Structure 1
Amino acid sequence: MNFRDDERGQSVVIGSLLVFTILVLSFSGYQAFVVPDQNAEVEADHFQDISEQFSQFQSNVVNAVGSGESRSTAIQLGTRYPTRLLALNPPPSRGKLETTEAGDVDITATGGAGDVCRGDGNTPTTRSLEYTPNYNEYRPPQALGYETRVLSREFESGSLYDQRMVFSSSKRINLFLLTGEVSENGIGTYNLEVNGSNRNTVTLEDPTITIPSRFDAQTWNTEILEAQSDVTATDVDGGDRVELTFTGGDYEVTCAVVGLDGAPAFSPPEDDGDGNGDGGGGDPDINPNAPGDVKLNGVTSVNNGQGTVDLEFENLANTVTSATEARINFYHAKPGSSPPSSADIFEVGEPNSATLTVKGQYQELNPDITFAGDDTTDVRLDFDGQINKNHEWFVLTLQYDNDEVGQYFISLQDDAGNSPPAPTSTPGPTPTPGPTPGTPLSASLSISEPGGSDKYEFDASGSSPASDIETYKWDFDDDGDFERTTTTDTISLDCKSSGNNKPDTGCSSTGDTGRVVVEDSEGSRTDEATATWP
């Protein structure tokens, strides 16, 4: 038989080749476009996370000063990409966390400055902390940095600065100097410990402050200090330092020293006793009520279903005290309701001082909220969403010009479960202050591998107060999903894989992160902690 002219199989072959070609092109397109886009999203989420971790580091620096206690910030250096069945991933993205070389800090002033930042007579120094990502796909971020109370987020298209060093409106200058060295490069979590010294506050006339900086004078003048009209930056030492010249008269200059992964290398002189010195700015006083404090008398009115809350404060000192910064730490909404996201804060009858983000960072108050001595002051918060007087409460923290910090737990109900009266045209009597929620929970976590047997122990027994914690939610691999929920503060995980034994869900690798979330019985108080797999 002659099959030379037989064409019966050609369509099958051609069809198979076309299907194969389509599959190859589809896979190539997925690998070339979809995978990079998804990985870029993972990297963008990581940069958002580490930006928040640097903000937490900034808060920990402030809270460590004057408190005598260490603070720790978990910095996730890199990120891993999701596992894919067919497509290929690049190696995990790594990041580098390091300090710059230390540089001298010089302070002069009309009439002399004396020793402001170092009590032993030697020249004080400081350095910067910098994080540099090494992303494979997400290109805009360049670095994150922290120096002398300036937090920077640096991108290809420009940089964003959160400076809390100079407050021209209240004539205050805050210098927090960093000592110690950090050099970490990898994927896992690095726990950065900070330890603070005392504060020293002095009054200086037209001071000139020279500090080492990663940024030149033009950046300081046009971006970092853009809103400050009484200070000019000049490059010195070839651009390695900037000289800040102040021309507004008398300033309160506060200096403290923070040690990274160790004690501060030196300390400022002890405060001179003028009432502006150390002891403030550490752990806040919870609902302060001692002589000299600014006390919260209570909630005087609530616009239910709208967003206005009026508070009455009483200054127990006989001198004027001003709130210069504020934040809303937390807002607990009624179950089934969404909490507001921000609020304007101001003294009643005065212009708006700031817009505070719920669970955000401190914001400068401009104008300051002033509390006259031995008198009461009404403060209003105008939230951007509806509030409900039943079972809702929030936490407000105020930083005062005497470096004291007051943290107020504000309930929208009185002791009998009744809400304060709605605003009226004539003021009524001040109601009894409402009850405050319990002490905030503080989570703690450690991960160990006793005996090296692939059996891991997750221990949250350091969480407090233990009597208030109802549940422990365990996210062993920190992927956002809780593998188990218990009422006990320890749990074991078997990650051994041999024979018929399958590893428990959530097993991870050395250097990865595990997480625990603690909650009270009502779910109104919560906190979380992370630790690194050994």
Structure 2
Amino acid sequence: MRLRGDDRAVTVQVGAVLLLGILVISLSIFQTTVVPNENEQVEFQHNQVVQEDMQSFRSAVTRAGGVGLTQSVAVRLGTQYPERALFINPPPPTGTLQTGTNSDVEIQNARALDDETSDYWDGASQGFTTTSVRYSPSYNVYQNAPTTVYEGSVLYNEFDGGTTIAQSQQSVVDGRTISLVAIDGELSRSQLGAVAVDVRPKSVSQRTVTVEGDGDPVTVLVPTSLDASVWQNTLLADEYDDPSTPDDPDKYVAEVNPTGGNAVEIVFEPGYQYNLNLAKVGVGTGVDEPEPAYATTVSGDEQVVPEGTTRQFVVEVRDQFNNPLSGVELNSPTITNSAQAGNDSVAFAGASETNSDGQVVVEYTAPDDVDGEQTAEVEVGFGSIDEEKVTVSLRVEDSNDSGSGGNGGSNINPGDPGSVTQKGAVIADTNQVLVTLENTGDERRIIDEVRLNFYYEDSQGQAGTSPPTTAEFNNGEATLNIRGAFKDVFEIVEGDNENSLSLRFFTDQNRNGEYDVQEGDFFVFTVLYDNDDAATYFVAPTDTDEPINADFSYSPSSPASSETISFDATSTTDDDTDSRSYSWEFGDGTTATGAQPSHTYSSAGTYAVNLTVEDSGGEFDTYSRLIEVTAGGGGGGGGNTGPTANAGPNTGVDEGQTVELDGTGSSDPDGSISSYSWTITDDNGASVSLRDANTATPVFDASSANVGSDTPVTVELTVEDNDGATSSDTVQVTVRDTGGSNSPQTLYPDQFDDQNGGDAAIPPNNPQGIMSAFSQMQTDNNQYAQLQPGGSQNKEMSIGVATNGVDTSATTYELEVRHGYENGAKAATLQIVDSSGTVLQSQSLTPTGSTATTSISLNTQATNSVQNNGQLYVVYTKSNDNKNLYVYYQRLVAS
């Protein structure tokens, strides 16, 4: 029998083949479209991250050139794609970080105001070489990724075809200050992971040189690939004084011109003085050390040397960036013009090699006897051309008329009957000296001209001093340059009368920086009278004109009604010898006078006692205290004796810092102190606050203070005992002026939160892991705090730290974290969060095999949070690898 054929299985086979084809096609489509799209997104996100790293590099260049500390920045050159089980990734993308070709920075037509410094800054073109730093990615998919370049203080992106987009602001021009930082060295790194770049200071900006145009306006050429229009309309928009609009007195850039090369020309408005701040940093290898460029005098030029005495002057050697250079050997000083041939001498006062401040001290000894006034000139330097040496002029004076046969010349410190004598000189304000001249004759004397010959600092030659260069005479009547020319004035000294002359001293020609006059300083000035007579005065001001500081005490310390209270104001201080008057208001409608009155209150209560002390010169001060008066009477016991508040001794704090107050000396003889309350009753305009004001030891916070002079702040402590009685006391905290505005504030964290408790009020809400040795994070001492994941439970780490008292008026915030890892650890992430724990900014702390410093410029969200609250919250997170993170320090720089 023949069987019929059966073809039913053919359909199943065909279907399987079709399904396999569809699967292969789908996988191919996923491999060729989805995988590249996802990888392109990975590459794009990496490019955003590496641009943040380059912003950190830009900040590191500025800090290294400004503060003199090496800055380490991690730049993540490449990235990794996500792992795929069935699909294939291309090789991980890498990147290259390298320096560019050297370019020239030029400063043209700039002449220094100081005579010796102008030998170098003489109006001719001066400059130095610098280089750019470029990051170039090698992505597989993201084809239009930019090259990110730092050049000319600006970070910008450079695209194919020459398009450039600025990613930061410029820092070259700020009003009349010109700041330039040169980068030197060779750097070329190409890899997948992060590379640590050390930015090393080579010439730290320590000196500011004031210049003006030498006929033509001051001009600066800045290397850049950005168009001049971008500089003018975007980067310099706040500095450019557009000629098509009304003149803006706060803008000093007159023109921004292209040069035909990769540079722009910035032309400044004529008729103004400008301050040069220059620095140099190094990256990579092949960094050249700065060479000596010129010598200048710091102090002692044009000083008066009485016959037979020795005086010192200080010479400083600087590099081409105007910064002092140590280790430079000077040639032996020589007298090129003798006050009396063979009878004067000159020698180094110590080493002939410049010290750490770039300075050498030279001593000149005058002849024992000269006729009238003679001029000696001393030459010293490290080379033979003009800018490599200085010539110091010294005026040798006949101090006792031993060699003078007539009345010619200038009369020094006149004291003869009928002359105009110096009666005294006092420091009236931080930078003000009042010189009192007394006419001992009958006839009026008129001062026609005045010259400021010389100023001697008591601290001359020491590091950190900024000598005065200019003085304002009698509230703007004339501006005198020290060692400058005579200036016309009109001052009358009536017969048998006095006239006080005011001189306010400044550290710069523009009279922006006040010089702090100290006892021990002295200066010399000469006046010319209308009858052609001259007189020279040696002035050594004394700091005797101190303000009144009213103060009083009372006894008993816990008075009762109907009890006599003795008040004593003899603790009031006033260095003047003037008589004083005392006026009292006892807070119950009664008053009294005198230094030690008595008073009795008729009923219990809290009374504000005010004391006003005034001297015969019209100066006065008022001091107030609250007095708690308890109910009097002679009952059979059971009454409460009130507490005694003790706010601690008067103290002081530098602006930008904090200090702890101490009320633990408060007491209660028959009970205990139940509460403390601190308030600021008089801040005198200082921006200060209190933290933990309801504790015995609050924190007085002057981190936002920027005072023009030392400023007293009155803080009152009120304590209450367990019976409800109160007592008050005050303490004075002096906020000390540290000598500058907008000084950067550096803060370390002061709270942490881990799974064991810590400060639970700060983020995160559910901390995991343990913080050990937190105090090591609060200082840069090469010791570390240890951040452990969740231990045996193998939990992820989430540990918070907080920095309080941050300056809310600052405009930029830089966070620096030096960190390391236990071997084999995965990277931790630093999160900047708000008080509720919302992430505002994050940064990976990349393991490098050794310690590294990560610098983070706070973004807009994080900056706004800090400015609104004065607090910075940071959370360290890490996966569950049971490996420790080590944090050597975390610090925030607010500026």
Q: Shorter-chain TM-score: which interval?
A: 0.5 to 0.7
Q: Between the two proteins, what is the percent identity of the paired residues?
A: 27
Task: Give the match for residue 159 of structure 1.
Answer: 165
Q: Which of 241, 245, 258 is matched with 1:235 structurally?
A: 258
CA RMSD of the aligned region, Å?
A: 4.9
User: Deviation at 1:147?
Assistant: 1.7
Aligned residues of 1:179 and 1:265 also touching (Cα < 8 A):
no
Residue of structure 2 aligned with 1:134, choices 106, 118, 138: 138
Q: Give distance in 2, aligned partners of 1:116 and 1:148.
A: 24
1:222 aligns with 2:538: no
Displacement of 1:107? 0.7
**1:260 aligned onto 2:283:** yes
Deviation at 1:56, TM superposition (A): 1.9
Aligned match of 1:373: 709
Give 2:744's aligned amino acid.
Answer: V
Give the deviation of 1:216 after TM superposition.
3.2
Q: Give the structure with higher Rg (CA).
A: 2
In 1, Cα distance between the equivalents of 2:19 and 2:104? Answer: 69
- Which residue does 2:266 correspond to in 1? 244
Letter in 2 for 1:258: V
Opposite residue 71 of structure 2, the aligned amino acid is: R
Match of 2:787 in 1: 471
What is the SS of the residue equivalent to 1:124?
A: strand
Counterpart of 2:479? none
* Pair 1:524–1:89, CA change in 2 (3 A): closer
Counterpart amino acid of 1:407?
T
For the residues of structure 2 that align with 1:160 and 1:2, how far apart are their CA atoms? 89
Residue 65 of structure 1, CA deviation: 2.5
**Partner Cα distance (1:60, 1:291) in 2:** 33
**Separation in 2, partners of 1:4, 1:241:** 93
Provide the C-alpha distance between the structure 1 equivalents of 2:683 and 2:852, rounded to a whole number of angstroms: 34
1:406 equivalent to 2:745? Answer: yes
Does structure 1 conserve the Cα–Cα contact (< 8 Å) formed by 2:132 and 2:151? yes
Q: Deviations over 1:236-264 (max 9, x none)?
A: 2x322221112273332211000112555
* Secondary structure of the structure 2 residue equivalent to 1:471: strand
Paired positions, count = 359
Alignment-derived partner of residue 54 in structure 1:
54
8 A contact 1:163–1:224 mirrored in 2: yes
Q: Secondary structure at the match of 2:19?
A: helix
SS at match of 1:65: helix
Query: 1:514-529 residue pairs with structure 2 within 5 A?
Result: none
Shift of the 517–246 alpha-carbon distance from structure 1 to 2, 3 Å rule, reads closer
1:193 Cα deviation after fit: 1.4
Shift of 1:31: 0.9
Q: Secondary structure at the match of 2:656?
A: strand
**Aligned residue type for 1:241:** A
User: Once the two structures are superposed, what CA deviation does each residue of 1:339-386 show, in whole Å capped at 9, x if it has no partner?
Assistant: xxxxxxxx9xxxxxxxxxxxxxxxxxxxxx964333489xxxxxxxxx
Measured after TM superposition, the shift of residue 108 of structure 1 is: 2.2
Aligned to 1:25: 25
- Of 218, 224, 232, the residue aligned with 1:207 is 218
Task: Report the CA distance between 1:122 and its aligned residue.
Answer: 7.7
1:174-323 alignment, distance < 5 Å? 174-196=179-201, 197-199=203-205, 200-205=207-212, 207-229=218-240, 230=251, 231=253, 232-236=255-259, 238-247=260-269, 249-261=272-284, 265-266=289-290, 267=319, 268-270=321-323, 273=466, 294-296=655-657
Structure number with greater CO (CA < 8 Å, separation at least 6) is 1
Whether the 8 Å CA contact 2:164–2:226 is kept in 1: the answer is: no
Q: Which amino acid aligns with 2:76?
A: Q
CA distance in 1, matches of 2:322, 2:826: 54
Q: Residues 291-323 of structure 1: CA distance to partner in whole angstroms, max 9, x if unpaired?
A: 995334689xxxxxxxxxx9x99999xxxxxxx
Q: Is the 8 A contact 1:98 1:181 kept in 2?
A: yes
Residues 470, 93 of structure 1: CA spacing in aligned structure 2 closer, same or farther, 3 A cutoff?
closer
CA distance in 1, matches of 2:712, 2:52: 36
C-alpha contact 2:152 2:223 (8 A) present in aligned 1: no
> Which secondary structure state, in structure 2, belongs to the residue aligned with residue 79 of structure 1?
coil
**Cα distance change on mapping 1:4 and 1:512 into 2, 3 Å:** farther
Q: Name the aligned partner's letter for residue 30 of structure 1.
A: F
| Corresponding position: 1:173 with 2:534 | no
Seen in structure 2, the aligned counterparts of structure 1 residues 370 and 182 have a Cα distance that, compared at 3 Å, is: same
1:416-442 Cα offsets, whole Å, 9 max, x none, are x9x9xxxxxxxxxxxxxxxxx956458
| Equivalent residues of 1:133, 1:141 under 8 A apart | yes
Aligned-pair CA distance for 1:35: 0.9
1:304 corresponds to: none
Matches of 2:209 and 2:852, distance apart in 1: 43
| Cα distance change on mapping 1:298 and 1:163 into 2, 3 Å | farther
- Aligned residues of 2:208 and 2:322 also touching (Cα < 8 A): no
Separation in 2, partners of 1:3, 1:186: 73
Shift of 1:16: 0.6
| SS of residue paired to 1:80 | coil
Give the gaps of 5 or more residues in structure 2.
241-250, 291-318, 325-464, 468-506, 509-650, 661-679, 687-703, 714-737, 752-758, 762-773, 791-795, 798-819, 828-845, 854-872, 877-884, 889-895
Distance in 2, matches of 1:7 and 1:297, equals 95
Structure 1 pair 221–23 and aligned structure 2 pair: CA distance change class (3 A): same
CA contact (8 A) 2:64 2:199 kept: yes
Q: Label 1:517 to 1:63 Cα distance change in 2 as closer, same or farther (>3 A).
A: closer
Partners of 2:100 and 2:69 in 1: how far apart?
Answer: 25
Q: Is the 8 A contact 2:749 2:778 kept in 1?
A: no
CA contact (8 A) 1:442 1:528 kept: no
| Contact 1:315 1:373 survives alignment (8 Å) | no
TM-score normalised by structure 1 residue count: 0.55
Q: Which residue is equivalent to 1:65?
A: 65
The answer to whether the Cα contact below 8 Å between 2:156 and 2:164 also exists between their aligned partners in 1 is no
The answer to whether 1:147 aligns with 2:508 is no
Where does structure 1 lack aligned partners over 5 or more consecutive residues?
Answer: 277-289, 300-309, 317-346, 348-368, 378-398, 420-436, 444-462, 475-480, 483-488, 494-503, 530-534
- Deviation of 1:71 (Å): 2.1
Q: Distance in 2 between matches of 1:438 and 1:315?
A: 34
Contact 1:208 1:243 in 2 (8 A): yes
Whole-angstrom distance in 1 between the partners of 2:78 and 2:6: 62
Query: Does the Cα contact within 8 Å between 1:60 and 1:194 map onto a contact in 2?
Result: yes
**Aligned 8 A contact 2:170 2:235 in 1:** no
Q: How far off is 1:91 after superposition?
A: 1.7
Asked whether the equivalents of residues 105 and 210 of structure 1 are also in contact (C-alpha less than 8 Å), the reply is yes
Q: Is the 8 A contact 1:151 1:162 kept in 2?
A: yes
The aligned residue for residue 96 of structure 1 is 96
With over 3 angstroms needed to count, the CA separation of the structure-2 counterparts of 1:125 and 1:20, relative to structure 1, is: same
Read off the aligned partner of 2:786 and give its amino acid letter: E
Per-residue Cα deviation, 1:365-410 (whole angstroms, up to 9, x for no partner): xxxx964333489xxxxxxxxxxxxxxxxxxxxx996784322469
Report the alpha carbon displacement of residue 490 of structure 1 after superposing the two structures with TM: 7.6
**Cα drift, residue 109 of structure 1:** 3.8
Offset from partner CA, 1:472-517 (integer Å, 9 cap, x none): 569xxxxxx88xxxxxx98555xxxxxxxxxx999xxxx9956989
